[in-house]
């Protein structure tokens, strides 16, 4: 092997290492480090030297390259198994496809340059063109696909079969159609390489179409899941409102009958029936307790939500300092959306932490506005992207000409919801008095 070929191979491996690591890290949303590139480049050079020295079939180096990139993605970048396989297959396929496209052009244009000095700069230009094509293909794939956690990752297994198919097809084309650059190329060979060029362009287009379809499938799954979650939340909120209405009717009936109960109790006392009086009084106390809530906010819907959700979270210390104005101008359903989602998020965050778990809820009127403040313990980690719950809260806040603000300080998460209570947008808020 001459020095030029050695340097050209080294340049190819260097560029290939940079493209592979950059593509996989951007695709999976993991931060690349210089040692990732160094290790991958060193091991890639070792593989290339080993298989070249012992004259193995060309399929084996490519397979080893795929396995190596999977290992780097899995072990160094800490990606999941399916994600690592999908990223590795796509990266190697794109690089092989780029080499194949440029090889077709080389076979057609450079055949008459064999043995001439001009061939060397042309081969260098072709190598640089490979990486330009590879970068463009990677950029196109990244526009259609992202494996940065959550929404698309549960369905990443859908990519493995088509990705592997494209990879094997391209590998077959490269290993059977491209050998040594000929000094002469016939018209038939020109037609063959032209057809291969078109086939590989179509292969790239097929890959992009597959990724486009995959993205839409993921979005469809996410939309269906969000709709199911919304339906469940809506039904739960309707149940809370129905229970609050029932409690209200029971309380109203009890208040209506209180005079009769007091009359009966007075009669028992006048006749000296102390034991019967005590029993009757205890019964009244039991009925009164069943109609009351541990938390009194001025709104039965909110009282039920706080009592039910915090009652199930015995390990969490709750501090409630909240008194909603009457009337507050906010629909019961909207209050239910705010408190249900805020409480669910707060309780889930508390359960992930160790040590003291606490939730604080407060409310304060500020002129025509009412400020709800939620505070809870959480893990000392960066905030994840806003989920459906926070999005629903934000929608309610905007409905009442308000705003939502989230903040994280250490192991405390803060959620503030500002609502305009003078707009009168509530249409079925009841007066519970």
**Domains of the chain by start residue, with CATH:** 3-229 (no CATH), 294-433 (3.30.565.10)
Give Rg (Cα) of the chain: 35
Q: What is the Cα–Cα distance from 104 to 198, expressed in whole angstroms?
A: 9
Q: pLDDT grade, residue 419 (50/70/90)?
A: very high
pLDDT at residue 240, as a whole number: 67
Instruction: With residue 417 as reference, give the H or E element that holds it.
Output: strand 412-420
Reference 39, options 3, 77, 89, 6; nearest CA is 77
- Mean of pLDDT over the chain: 77
**pLDDT more than 90, % of the chain:** 8
pLDDT at residue 361, as a whole number: 92
* Strand ranges across the sheet with 403-409: 317-321, 358-366, 369-377, 412-420, 403-409
Ranges of beta strands (E only) in 251-402 are: 317-321, 358-366, 369-377
- Answer yes or no: is pLDDT of 355 > 50: yes
47-56, 194-203, 219-228, 282-291 — which one is most confidently predicted on average?
A: 194-203
Q: What is the Cα–Cα distance from 378 to 229, expressed in whole angstroms?
A: 23
Q: Which residue has the higher pLDDT, 327 or 47?
A: 47
Q: Which residue has the higher pLDDT, 29 or 342?
A: 342
For the stretch 208-256, pLDDT in tens is 888 888 888 777 877 777 777 677 667 766 776 676 667 666 666 666 6
The DSSP bridge partners found for residue 359 are 318, 376
pLDDT at residue 206, as a whole number: 83
Q: Which two tokens stand for residue 229?
A: 């979650």
pLDDT at residue 427, as a whole number: 41
pLDDT average, residue stretch 316-331: 84
Q: What is the Cα–Cα distance from 154 to 222, expressed in whole angstroms?
A: 10
**pLDDT more than 70, % of the chain:** 72
Least trusted range by pLDDT, from 54-63, 284-293, 336-345: 284-293
Q: 272 phi and psi, to 5 degrees?
A: 75, 20
């Amino acid at each position: 092997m001459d020095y030029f070929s050695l340097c050209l191979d080294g340049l190819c491996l260097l560029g290939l290492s940079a493209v592979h690591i950059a593509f996989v890290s951007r695709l999976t949303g993991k931060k690349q480090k210089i040692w990732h590139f160094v290790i991958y480049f060193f091991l890639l050079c070792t593989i290339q030297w080993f298989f070249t020295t012992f004259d193995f079939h060309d399929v084996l180096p490519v397979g080893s390259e795929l396995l190596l990139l999977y290992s780097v993605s899995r072990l160094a970048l800490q990606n999941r198994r399916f994600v690592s396989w999908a990223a590795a297959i796509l990266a190697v396929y794109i690089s092989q496809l780029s080499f194949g496209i440029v090889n077709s052009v080389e076979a057609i244009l450079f055949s008459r340059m064999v043995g001439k000095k001009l061939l060397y700069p042309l081969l260098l230009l072709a190598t640089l063109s490979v990486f330009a094509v590879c970068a463009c293909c990677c950029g196109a794939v990244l526009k259609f696909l992202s494996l940065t956690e959550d929404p698309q990752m549960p369905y990443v297994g859908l990519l493995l079969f088509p990705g592997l198919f494209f990879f094997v097809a391209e590998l077959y084309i490269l290993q059977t159609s491209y050998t040594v650059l000929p000094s002469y190329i016939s018209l038939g060979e020109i037609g063959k390489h032209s057809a291969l060029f078109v086939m590989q362009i179509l292969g790239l287009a097929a890959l992009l179409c597959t990724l486009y379809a995959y993205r839409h499938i993921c979005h469809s799954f996410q939309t269906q899941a969000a709709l199911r979650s919304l339906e469940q939340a809506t039904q739960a909120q309707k149940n809370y409102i129905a229970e609050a209405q029932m409690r209200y009717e029971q309380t109203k009936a009890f208040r209506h009958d209180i005079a009769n109960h007091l009359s009966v109790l007075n009669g028992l006392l006048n006749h000296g029936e102390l034991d019967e009086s005590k029993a009757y009084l205890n019964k009244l106390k039991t009925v009164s307790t069943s109609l009351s809530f541990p938390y009194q906010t001025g709104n039965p819907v909110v009282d039920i939500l706080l009592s039910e959700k915090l009652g199930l979270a015995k390990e969490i210390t709750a501090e409630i300092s909240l008194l909603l104005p009457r009337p507050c101008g906010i629909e019961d359903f909207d209050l239910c959306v705010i408190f249900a989602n805020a409480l669910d998020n707060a309780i889930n965050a508390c359960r992930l932490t160790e040590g003291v778990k606490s939730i604080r809820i407060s409310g304060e009127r500020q002129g025509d506005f009412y400020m709800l403040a939620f505070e809870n313990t959480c893990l000392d980690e960066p905030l994840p992207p806003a989920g459906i719950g926070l999005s629903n809260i934000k929608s309610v806040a905007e409905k009442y000409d308000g705003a939502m603000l989230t903040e994280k300080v250490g192991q405390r998460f803060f959620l503030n919801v500002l609502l305009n209570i003078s707009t009168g947008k509530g249409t079925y808020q009841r007066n519970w008095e």
